[in-house]
Amino acid sequence: MSRLSANRWGKSEVRVSKVHRGERTDEFSDISVQVLLEGDVESAHTEGDNAAVLPTDTIRNTIYGLAQEHLTDDLEAFAFVLCQRFVARPDIDQARVSIFENIWRRQTDTGFVGGGSERRTAQVAHGRETETGAGIEGLVVLKTRGSAFAGFPRDEFTILPEAADRLLATSVTARWLYSSIPNDTTATWSLVRATIVDHFFADWSASVQHQGYMMGKRVLDAVPEISEINFHLPNQHHLPFDLTRFGLEDQGNVFHPVSEPYGDIGFTVTRD
């Protein structure tokens, strides 16, 4: 005996760019959209009946069709418009929209420089439940001092030396949930990013965990509309390179960056 359990369908990695034209100065959006839908489509799986399955091609075209009027710098608002559109169908009871925006920095009134790894994100779920969040991906930060790692447990396989002051680097992924949506989600995103960056560099930390918790606490202090923030902070290791093998004095300032393996740290900071 078998039955269909949790399921969803949709469209991912829908790339959309849009020029927001002004009199002399233009703005530019470069996003990828993921739409995931849930509804009563059991017969599509069990009987091959597609009467309730909105084509994923239609999902893609809906994103482009609504972008002309509704895509602004308020990504959460555009995600909610998409959710409302899909949930309005009688056979869809939940829509989840995630938007990933590539960051372009202004160079001239009509010119931009991009190509980095950093992305702004927005996530909206609407239907049976409604939830709005935002985030940052690929924010790479490094400081050459101001972090330590000592006092950890040791056993026969522990060879890592304790460090009172060390180089610390990570690629920040942060996602937060709103208890209420701010009036200006773009300004709020910029404030969260600035808070994370400022306190990564300003605060001494005893570990990656300590560093991240302090950043999360500062974000909650700065933005009362945020109920919780989740961090993924993989260590970007820069391993000391032993120059004494070449007959040189090792002054401890030459490193070998490695991408794998890496320390994988994740946690959520929430309000009491």
The set of catalytic residues is 11, 56, 237
- Position of tokens 């994100």? 121
Q: Are 102 and 114 in contact (CB under 8 A)?
A: yes
The first and second tokens of residue 13, run together, are 């990695």
Q: How many CB atoms are closer than 10 A to CB 212?
A: 26
CA angle centred on 111, ends 68 and 102, rounded to 5°: 60
d(CA 175, CA 123): 9
> DSSP H helical segments within 16-118, as ranges?
42-46, 56-70, 75-87
Nearest to 10 by CA among 34, 31, 27, 30: 34
The first and second tokens of residue 239, run together, are 């391993």
Tell me the Cα Rg of the chain: 23
Chain centroid, CA 158 distance in Å: 33
The first and second tokens of residue 157, run together, are 């396989």
What crossing angle do the helices spanning 75-87 and 185-202 adopt, rounded to 10°? 130
Strand partners for 205: 147
Query: How big is the chain, counted in residues?
Result: 272
Q: Are 171 and 130 in contact (CB under 8 A)?
A: no
